[in-house]
Amino acid sequence: MFQKSRLALVMDDVVRIGAAAQALGVSVDTLRRWEREGRIQFERRGNSRFLKADELAALLRARGGSDRSSARNRMHGVVLEVKRDGVMAQVDMACGPYRIVSLMSAEAAEELDLKPGDPATAVVKATTVVVERA
């Protein structure tokens, strides 16, 4: 039977700062600033910073937005571009390291008054998710 080393067991309950930043859709510098402001607390192991997994989970829940929708996949980001063409609009967003493209009615885009630079949240509700090998 394979046994984990003591170090591996300790690592199970923490996340490296870079992975935490990616999960939250913020930069490592932002997390360091949050630490200075007392919003979060990292464990230091050698020259590395680690965030407790339960603290990361709490941050993700807090940043998750409203519970008034059945959609749970929310990505906070910034509008890059809005293209309107007749009855449709294409909204390009940067959400962390990801580019999200949404097609919606031009009327909906107009109601939201979306412009490049605006903060926005992409909410994804899908019945099918395609997973590709990395």
Confidence of residue 11 (pLDDT cuts 50, 70, 90): low
Instruction: Work out the burial of residue 114: count CB atoms within 10 Å of its CB; fewer than 13 is exposed, 13-18 middle, 19 or more buried.
Output: buried
Q: Which helix (H) or strand (E) holds 78?
A: strand 73-85
pLDDT, mean of residues 89-109: 91
Are 8 and 43 spatial neighbours (Cβ–Cβ below 8 Å)?
Answer: no
Where does CATH 1.10.1660.10 sit in the chain? 6-62
pLDDT of residue 68: 62
* CATH code for the part of the protein at 6-62: 1.10.1660.10
Query: pTM score, two decimals?
Result: 0.48
Q: Rounded to whole angstroms, how far apart are CA atoms 50 and 27? A: 15
Where does CATH 2.40.50.100 sit in the chain? 75-116
* CATH code for the part of the protein at 75-116: 2.40.50.100
Q: Rounded to whole angstroms, how far apart are CA atoms 134 and 130? A: 12
pLDDT of residue 62: 79
pLDDT, mean of residues 12-23: 84
